[in-house]
Structure 1
């Protein structure tokens, strides 16, 4: 995998805090070859394959931010990380006119190499509810 030479972080916990403050920063912390397993991966049959590459990961995150009218907030409650793996737990929050405010617990799981994110699994308690909410229903 190609590891980018971008913003240095003292540890992966700092990297994750930085990212979850603004998901549009994923290209600053991810390998060029990152694999991103989306939260809605199992809502279809067969399951959706992971997104491959930093451009696809960035487009995915940018799409989520745009779909929530830029109201998406990842309310982080805890982070546990070492040089190889990290987990971030919290509540995904967003608002949209005409829809009930969204609040769904999440757990992001990360794998790192050389201090950079190389794989990410998005996990939400109810990804189907999030998908419906994004569609405005």
Structure 2
């Protein structure tokens, strides 16, 4: 069986996602002003508003905070990207090292686009509680 490179892997929105995962702070370059980002930890609290980041600048600030929490060691090791005019999906492993511990957590980022701009992003970590505990320094880390 042979496989051809599918156009969804080379779509302009896939290229945008590659740029973002290489440098999370670039999310603002490709986002609508009113974009909404749903954090990986959104379901860990009873507050329905928790875990919802609204606006391009707030999304950039959220990504900068993730980088800060890992002491600048955060790497999004991307395995697959598919995208079209409306949606994108990214699979990979989030990696970070902090306080002598390491994190390697599978993730799936889901994206919605409108007219070439990001309108929504859903962060999905395989184990959001373990990821948050690592970032907040309340555990020794998790392995993929």
Q: TM-score, normalised by structure 2?
A: 0.85
Matched, 1:103 2:104: yes
State the distance in 1 between where 2:52 and 2:99 align.
Answer: 31
- Give the Å deviation of 1:49: 5.2
Name stretches of at least 5 consecutive residues in structure 1 with no aligned partner. 1-9
CA distance in 2, matches of 1:89, 1:56: 24
**Alpha-carbon separation, structure 1, partners of 2:73 and 2:79:** 18
Alpha carbon RMSD of aligned pairs, Å? 1.1
- Counterpart-to-counterpart distance in 2, 1:53 and 1:135: 24
After the TM superposition, list the runs of 4 or more consecutive aligned residues in structure 1 that deviate by more than 2 angstroms: none
1:23 aligns with 2:24: yes
Q: Which has the larger radius of gyration?
A: 2
Question: How many equivalent pairs are there?
Answer: 127
Alpha-carbon distance in 1 for matches of 2:52, 2:134: 22
Match of 2:61 in 1: 59
Paired residue secondary structure (1:95): strand
Q: Does 1:133 align with 2:134?
A: yes
Partner of 1:50: 52
1:5 corresponding residue in structure 2: none
Alignment of 1:60-75 (within 5 A): 60-75=62-77
Does the alignment pair 1:32 with 2:41? no
